[in-house]
A = this chain, B = another copy of it.
């Protein structure tokens, strides 16, 4: 590499490092907003966030960065780059093109619209007023279509949106995957509903002391290998995880006094996201590769820890006594009763309250709706009817209100089309990873039953976490499991689990 080339690479990496610093600062500002920043400071804080975001956007779209990219992409120099530097060039090119293709004025209009639309959604949802929300949703769809035009449609227009959250994912692949999954889950769900062996859940609803819940959550996080010298647990209205850098990955939870496991499973879920971010290789710090490789893979980790491990029988064989000890006289139920009570299945209207099985049907409905909007031109006015018909068909329930139906999620109001599939991809990836883990570590469940969770974390770190964005989702799933994404693993996992619980 010539001195001039070295200089270009140096400036390129320096700029990425700076963008990463701005990202971290913004991350702290957002975390702060959601964990107790005082109400009256919000307006001024928004201006500070606006100023920093604006400067970061300028950095990310500067003509200099474009020039350095072009130079680093020239054959002779690109070939001489390290694996990490090559990935940095590719990843930065992708983001750079995405950003510069949108005229700044259009983007600013859209940011204002999305913010207004989210506010309107919140208000209209409370009043069950779809007609009031509809014009905003129409406009958000219209802007999103403009973006697709500017970015360029892939195989289908909706593919362009999917690629934002799950790089490389296509409608073609998802249609296959979700098609099979849907019929299997509808079938399994019906069998479960017909079973006479419905678990008792009444013991879950008592008054459970918040301090004791917190104590147990902290204990389980430590058991999972969450590093408290590289994170902290706070409270917020909506639980979340945020990776500021691998040495500072924070999670929040929300304690409900009338539910002994809601906060716990939420904590394990966010803890799964956090384990991913805490264990990314230090060599990626200060670069855009220092984060999860996709929303779907990220979600696979939260769901692996929450569902595959946290809702498993061996887990509770080990930890139920510990939980009981924190609520003397309250959890008067057998470990089997407790396990079954925390693994019930029933069709419902609200996605975020759904069980591990029917959750995927909620997602499939949203995926099909989004395809209708962007590939078939469905209008905002038609969505409630389409929504209700699908809920009736797949889940056998029908919303009595918009708030319990098409208006339940925030995503569309803010333009996050293409995001929903990540949640079910997470479930499918998680089940597929679990089978690979069982194969390579046959004593896995014995370990879980003995409270040895660190080997699980180490296995995931070695194969997934450390790479950050160095491997694509499809590379990861092939490297780790030996085959591409296969929904049958999730079907088998759910079938086995619920056949046992509901004695099918």
Contacts and interface: CB of A to CB of B under 8 A. Distances in A.
Contacts of A389: none
Interface string A267-289: 00000000000000000011000
Interface centre among A17, A50, A227, A247 (most CB of B within 10 A): A247
Nearest to A52: B25
Interface string A378-407: 000000000000000000000000000000
Contact of A28 (B17, B28, B286): B28
Contacts of A250: 38
A245 B21 contact: no
A45 B232 contact: no
Interface in A8-60: 17-18, 21-22, 24-25, 28-29, 32, 36-45, 47-48, 50-52, 55
A230 interface: yes
A89 interface: no
Given A36-B232, A38-B232, A247 B43 contact: yes
Interface residues of A, number: 39
B32 A45 contact: no
Interface string A228-268: 11111000000000001111101000000000000000000
B28 A32 contact: yes
A334 to B, nearest CB: 36
A44 B285 contact: yes
A286 B47 CA distance: 9
Contacts of A55: 55
A51 B229 contact: no
A36 B36 CA distance: 14
Contacts of A227: 40
A248 B38 contact: yes
A247 to B, nearest CB: 3
B25 A29 contact: yes
A25 B24 CA distance: 11
Given A24-B48, A47-B21, A52-B21, A41 B286 contact: no
7 contacts: A22-B48, A25-B52, A40-B227, A41-B244, A41-B247, A42-B247, A44-B248
